Structure 1
Amino acid sequence: MNIARPLVSALILLASLASGGCASQPPLKTVDHLDLDRYLGRWYVIAHIPYWLEQGKVASYDSYARRPDGRLQNDFTFRRERLDAPEETWKGTARVVNTQSNAEWAVQFVWPFTASYLVIDLDPDYRWAVIGHPSRRLLWVLARERQLDEATYQAILRRAAAQGYQPDQVRKVPQPAD
């Protein structure tokens, strides 16, 4: 595999996100508290605001685990274009930036660049979560199961809109049926 293409792609993405959020909107509000032990594990990507690094990725999920050095392992697994394509994984790390809430992370897939990861909505039973970025150009709806019922999904989009997101930009990610 040629590492140069993903590296250049990640560098361009991170540079474009470094400009931060929109000055006309207040900062995103994260959840008050995230229990890291309950949050660890696998989260399926139900929907996102598409960007070029995730184009053509289907059946995608994130996995989070504690590392001995205190950071978190953050792996992104996906298939290209087809649900029956082989799985690929990008390995990353994350560190908690706000230790009072645990809801603000810095995620790194390519050193030395990091991206903000903000948990802005979370099911009380940790069945689904919504991840935002200060720029509001990125959003992910994650769930413990491959599918999320439509009423819950629509309620999530309404709350994201209240935080300044454009729901019409969010697209579902194809996942295999359970």
Structure 2
Amino acid sequence: MKQSTALKIAAGVAAAAIGGAFLYSRSTRPPVINPKVPEPAEPVDLARYLGKWFELARHENRFEKGLDAVTAEYSLDDDGTIRIVNSGRQGSPKGERSSVEGHAIVADRATNAKLKVSFLGPFYVGPYWILDHGDDYEWSIVGEPSGRYLWVLAREPKPAPAVAEAILKRVEALGYDRWALRATRHA
């Protein structure tokens, strides 16, 4: 992995997390795709949420531009923080791989559905809301309060078409435009 690519991804994640106020102008932030972001639908069992997720779709953003085969891996560190390793391949599912490591803390202990993430050091500045998930944690819809970012995740890179359609219908029920999402290609 090239260091500059990792730094670019980390800077982008941090910019998204803090609303782009410091690193990007308003003109480079993605448009709001949901002006009324709902509160997370269900509590989250973090032990079941940990592990590897495949990104099925996302609202396109500057820090993931052109990435495919995107995955996110969550694990619990000894200090109680959640370690996050995001990775993807540039230009195609077989392109050059890059990754970035971050950490998260639980921001809402009542539900565990709201986290704060950081990819640029010890400051937990970015909201990460697990808006909904499958009963068996086979899929997850992740957003944040500005309504500019959304990720659709699954445990498999290519779930059955009926499952994928059901997840997208849930995206719509949460107030997002499913047609504004960019599908993530996997090998």
Give the TM-score range, shorter chain. 0.7 to 0.9
Q: 2:148 aligns with which of 127, 137, 142?
A: 137
Gap runs ≥5 in structure 2: 27-31
Instruction: Indicate yes or no: 2:23 matched with 1:13.
Output: no
Contact 1:41 1:64 in 2 (8 A): yes
Give the alignment of 1:9-158 within 5 angstroms.
9-16=12-19, 26-111=36-121, 112=123, 114-158=125-169
Mapped partners of 1:96, 1:122: distance in 2: 17
> Across the two proteins, how many residue pairs are aligned to each other?
173
Mapped partners of 1:77, 1:135: distance in 2: 24
Residue 165 of structure 1 aligns with which residue?
176
Mapped partners of 1:10, 1:32: distance in 2: 25
Q: What is the Cα-based RMSD across aligned positions, in Å? A: 2.4
Gap runs ≥5 in structure 1: none
The structural deviation recorded for 1:89 is: 1.3
The structural deviation recorded for 1:68 is: 1.2
Structure 2-normalised TM-score?
Answer: 0.81
The structural deviation recorded for 1:54 is: 0.5
Mapped partners of 1:4, 1:76: distance in 2: 12
> CA offsets, 1:139-166, max 9 Å, x none?
1111111112222222222222222211
Task: Return 127-136 or 106-115, whichever deviates more.
Answer: 106-115
Structure 1-normalised TM-score?
Answer: 0.85
The structural deviation recorded for 1:133 is: 1.3
Mapped partners of 2:64, 2:80: distance in 1: 28
Mapped partners of 2:130, 2:143: distance in 1: 6
Identity of aligned residues (%): 28
